[in-house]
Amino acid sequence: MRSSIPGSGTSMPNESACPSAIDSSRIMATPGPLAQAWRRLNSNRLAVVSGVILTVIAVVSILGSTTSFVQRHDPAAQAYTDATGTNNTDRSPNRVNWLGTDGLGRDIWARMLQATFFSLRIGIGAEAVIVALGISLGLLAGLGGQRTDRIIVWITDLAFAFPDILMIILVRQVLLGRDWPILGAGSPQIPGVPSALLLTVIAISIVSWVTICRLVRGQILSLHGQEYVLAARAAGASPWRTLRVHMLPNAISPVIVAITFGIPRNIFAEASLAFIGLGVPPPFASLGSLMSDGRAHLQTNSLLVIWPALAVAMLMLCFTFLGDGLRDALDPRSRRQRRASIGLAPRHR
């Protein structure tokens, strides 16, 4: 609509139709980066299903380790015969023992819950230490000057030169059985954290921090010359505020993606150690130790290996699919580049 000025034959545009007002309303209605990332993640059905499966596995394993209702049986109880006097060893799945029993009459369902919870604690705990070390050293390399950067890069190059599993075995054997301030023998020195779990977490963390460190260092170096960082420095922002407000939030997205890939890698590393007899000692059990125990009974009761192997495969696949979904949600360019590399047209949403 157009409004006329009294006493003149001209008219002027209505303020409601002003282009600047329309543009401002559109800008205000545009969702933020986090909302857009969340929308892209929800559109990835495989990532959503993987996240739901991981949540169910985590909740069931936690409840199974803390409540008898879900656990149903004592994972350490050995029952060679049941209440009727029937042999209770190496039984196939039934109404009483949902996943069967092992050669000592122990319920596989209860042991699977205990082992899954222990493996998740190792994977998540090791990744927490890895992220703390990697971010700290990555920031130090990116902001500490050329000499500090060269030293840290040299250490990471040296760490990459050795196979991870061999270094984890070496570090574990060095730490094992020594009277360290935290890793003392006997009862756990950290409440709720057994020494066997802490030993495995530290061994994996000491070897696996280099990937996060390099990732953070590269992000910080690439953000040094960005316009908003230079503008913040010119406005008088302190180095700590520039790092905390402007640089670290923009460098954290690839770290989040790396975490989802690092947790299954830690679980697989622990399972590999346990499978060759270097895992957590009894009475603790992990998915790898269950496979190691069932290897001797592979011909007579293959379910002892099949159930934990399926659990490890499920955790690996779900974390991988969730990581792919997070990477596509936080960095849409990576999805377009991968689709272009295999000859697919980009999707327009």
What average pLDDT does this structure show over 45-54? 95
Token pair 């280099």: residue = 210
Is residue 63 in a domain? no
Best CA proximity match to 263, nearest among 167, 156, 131, 172: 131
Is residue 311 in a domain? yes
Q: Domain tally for the chain? A: 1
Q: What is the pLDDT of residue 194?
A: 74
Is residue 344 in a domain? no
Greater confidence (252 vs 321) lies with: 321
DSSP string, 197-212: HHHHHHHHHHHH-HHH
Is residue 186 in a domain? yes
Mean pLDDT, the chain, rounded, equals 82
Q: What is the pLDDT of residue 187?
A: 53
CA 68 vs CA 106, 107, 114: distances in Å: 15, 13, 12
- Give the global pTM: 0.80
Whether the per-residue pLDDT at 268 is higher than 70: the answer is yes
What average pLDDT does this structure show over 146-160? 91
> According to the 3-state scheme, what is the secondary structure of 278-321?
CCCCCCCCCHHHHHHHHHCCCCCCCHHHHHHHHHHHHHHHHHHH
Whether the per-residue pLDDT at 274 is higher than 80: the answer is yes
Task: Give the structural domain span for 120.
Answer: 105-338
pLDDT digits (tens, 9 = 90+) for 294-313: 888 888 888 899 999 999 99
pLDDT digits (tens, 9 = 90+) for 66-100: 888 888 888 888 888 877 778 888 888 888 888 98
Q: What is the pLDDT of residue 178?
A: 65
Is residue 218 in a domain? yes
CA 257 vs CA 41, 55, 218: distances in Å: 12, 17, 15
Is residue 272 in a domain? yes
Is residue 28 in a domain? no
Give me the CATH number covering residue 127. Answer: 1.10.3720.10
Is residue 75 in a domain? no
